[in-house]
Structure 1
Amino acid sequence: MRQLLVTGGAGFIGSNFVRHVLAHTDDQVTVVDKMNYAANAASLDGLPVGRCRLVRGDVADPALVDRLLADHDAVVHFAAETHNDNSLADPEPFLHSNIIGTYTLLEAARRHGTRFHHISTDEVYGDLPLDGTERFTEHTPYNPSSPYSSTKAGSDLLVRAWVRSFGVNATLSNCSNNYGPYQHVEKFIPRQITNILTGRRPKLYGDGRNVRDWIHVEDHSSAVLRILDDGRPGETYLIGADSERSNREVLGILLDLLGHGPDDFDLVVDRAGHDLRYAIDSSKLRGELGWEPKFLSLEAGLADTVEWYRDNPGFWSAAKESTELFYAGRGQ
């Protein structure tokens, strides 16, 4: 039985990973989360009694982090500030959480010999041409575009340096865009779903041609667990499900699933520095570790997601009004 620490485990991807671990292993899980606006304790409701506990705290707090890592066999580091729009408005929290937080955890892992897995994003690589076929690999040079992606790139480099210089037993993964249950309504897919469910019109940045490589959060979770168990120390693995679609195409699927016409949306001001296209080559992960996604169809994954938001308004309704007021103030 492993004692597993999950940072940021009350957020979207972290909480789904916790649920996956508890369903597929005998691990005991401790979640550490500072419970900012993007975290929600309800994300951890209904988990097995006695196998998961929540500690409220900041991963940039050295004393707290040292106490926690002393009692755990491994840490999976999800905790991060992640919203591009917020990083453009105020970069400082991204430096604090993504750089200082990662450094603090790495130093504690070095002292205690803790297995470390670092969660990152494909956004560290910048973007690709809309009309190209190139995909990101583990060897693609970093070229981040925003304060968010820059601080994630910096945290990745810290992990690599602590592996090489100090022998920390760490792996890294860079994943494509996630969707699924328990995601905050500020994000693209849940925002459009909940707009429709609350009688609002969906919103599309710019011309909607920007392409993302989408993956259901359950598939991301299974990949991370596989890397934690079987990944080679010091290695980076890219996680993707071969589901490249433009934002316009994704919105079209959602409109159809929710019984609306294909043109029932508003175009809004584009995001500053909006990356054009992301695409992941996950062949290393699939070949070395034998991982495959469960959701092979984006349409099926989005249908599953729509039903979850339809069935769980108690999770997202409290944040909906303030989120839409924020975006209205930005013309979005």
Structure 2
Amino acid sequence: MRDFKSILIFGGLGFIGSEYILKARKRFPDAKIINFDSQNYATSLHTKELLDAIENYIYIKSDIRYKDQVISALKEFSPDLIVNFAAESHVDNSIESAEVFIDTNIKGTFNILEATRLILDDGENCILHHVSTDEVFGDLDLEGTAKFSETTPYDPSSPYSASKAASDHLVRAWARTYKINYLITNCSNNFGPRQYTEKLIPKAINLILDNKKVPIYGNGKNIRDWIYVGEHVDRLIDLQMSSAKNDTYLIGGNNELSNVEIIKEIVSIIHPSGQWNPGEYIAFVDDRKGHDMRYAIDDTKMRNFLGKVDKESFSDQLQSTVTWYQKNLDWWE
């Protein structure tokens, strides 16, 4: 089982990154944890305060778009594990203004790779874990049963997914050319506590609690595979602690639901005795440009490699998520 002394996390104030830091603190109790994050619009000061309270933790306010600052962090802390969560991730924003996605997701990843190449001479002593998305594979037939796997060709549909696809390719190319040890994981849609309210599930929870309708693109039949953020992070750390190296693993929740079905599930938790009436809770709006129809992940490779993994029910995970937002309405204020 691998252990690490110095873990450098890019994007650790974000939704998945902050969950990772909280879990990594427990599972790597002796490691120094360094969080390099720009603290952008999707960051809550409450999340920052939560992380600031943990032991042997250092926060660096900076941006992966600045290569000299990335290099400086690697020089100072000599990490034996680098985990890259840092990314612009909201598809709608990428459609409206793609440049920051190119700068952060592509150029930023390049900067991390170059810093790793230049500073860490002995690549055997470090692993770079690049956290990516299933959206790099495009979409699947709405009525089909096919799922994405590690051998699915890349076919991104949005500026966001194209930028993440490019970053995946950079990691593999630098790994092969410069002998950098790496892991790439591509996950399905995450949900859980502390997710910024531009994303579907927290947006829906807040709007329904405020007795407002949830805007849903098109006819609401688009399907996503949902994974609870804590479950996703557990699998990331499981892979890091294992012998996995220079390989790619898909991580899914095996919870395929349409956007309308997600809203129905949330309504049933907030109003358990109410009758389901879509028109009462949903406002259908013009479809998103290039809207992907369906995502689904076959994570057999990951499960076979790790063996039996713990898994809660989706309904319990969604219930705990709704409860968290009910208790933390001021998290983004």
Q: 1:56 aligns with which of 54, 61, 68?
A: 61
2:41 match: 37
Asked if structure 2 preserves the Cα contact closer than 8 Å seen for 1:135 and 1:279, the reply is: yes
Secondary structure of residue in 2 paired with 1:101 = helix
1:262 match: 276
Secondary structure of residue in 2 paired with 1:267 = strand
Greater shift in the superposed pair: 106-115 or 184-193: 106-115
Q: 1:10 aligns with which of 8, 13, 20?
A: 13
Distance 1:232 1:24 in 2: 17
2:23 corresponds to 1:23: no
Distance 1:53 1:42 in 2: 17
What's the CA shift for 1:227? 1.7
Distance 1:39 1:181 in 2: 13
What's the CA shift for 1:23? 2.4
Distance 1:152 1:281 in 2: 20
What's the CA shift for 1:196? 1.4
Asked if structure 2 preserves the Cα contact closer than 8 Å seen for 1:10 and 1:33, the reply is: yes
Distance 1:106 1:228 in 2: 18
Asked if structure 2 preserves the Cα contact closer than 8 Å seen for 1:231 and 1:289, the reply is: no
User: For residues 304-331 of structure 1, what are the alpha-carbon distances to aligned partners after superposition, in whole Å with 9 as ceiling and x for unaligned?
Assistant: 1000000111213x3xxxxxxxxxxxxx
Q: 2:236 aligns with which of 224, 241, 257?
A: 224
1:140 match: 152
Distance 2:145 2:54 in 1: 48
Secondary structure of residue in 2 paired with 1:314 = coil
Greater shift in the superposed pair: 14-23 or 179-188: 14-23
User: For residues 198-233 of structure 1, what are the alpha-carbon distances to aligned partners after superposition, in whole Å with 9 as ceiling and x for unaligned?
Assistant: 232222221110000000000110111112222532
Unpaired runs of 5+ in structure 1?
A: 319-332
What's the CA shift for 1:293? 4.7
2:74 match: 69
Distance 1:19 1:291 in 2: 23
TM-score when normalising by structure 1 = 0.92
Secondary structure of residue in 2 paired with 1:307 = helix
1:171 match: 183
1:130 match: 142
Q: 1:289 aligns with which of 289, 300, 306?
A: 306
Distance 1:274 1:166 in 2: 37
Distance 2:41 2:85 in 1: 16
Letter in 2 for 1:135: K
Secondary structure of residue in 1 paired with 2:287 = coil
Asked if structure 2 preserves the Cα contact closer than 8 Å seen for 1:226 and 1:291, the reply is: no
Q: 2:256 aligns with which of 238, 244, 248?
A: 244
User: For residues 44-67 of structure 1, what are the alpha-carbon distances to aligned partners after superposition, in whole Å with 9 as ceiling and x for unaligned?
Assistant: 433444322221101121121112
Asked if structure 2 preserves the Cα contact closer than 8 Å seen for 1:193 and 1:306, the reply is: yes
User: For residues 84-132 of structure 1, what are the alpha-carbon distances to aligned partners after superposition, in whole Å with 9 as ceiling and x for unaligned?
Assistant: 0000000000000000000000111122133200000000000000111
What's the CA shift for 1:291? 5.6
Distance 2:91 2:322 in 1: 24
Greater shift in the superposed pair: 16-25 or 212-221: 16-25
Distance 1:274 1:291 in 2: 35
Asked if structure 2 preserves the Cα contact closer than 8 Å seen for 1:241 and 1:293, the reply is: no
TM-score when normalising by structure 2 = 0.91
2:109 corresponds to 1:102: yes
2:314 match: 298
Asked if structure 2 preserves the Cα contact closer than 8 Å seen for 1:10 and 1:41, the reply is: no
Asked if structure 2 preserves the Cα contact closer than 8 Å seen for 1:109 and 1:115, the reply is: no
Distance 2:135 2:162 in 1: 9
Distance 1:231 1:210 in 2: 37
Q: When the two structures are aligned, how many residues end up with a matched partner?
A: 316
Percent identity, aligned pairs only, is 41
The alignment yields a C-alpha RMSD, in angstroms, of 1.4
What's the CA shift for 1:40? 2.4
Distance 1:119 1:69 in 2: 19
Unpaired runs of 5+ in structure 2?
A: none
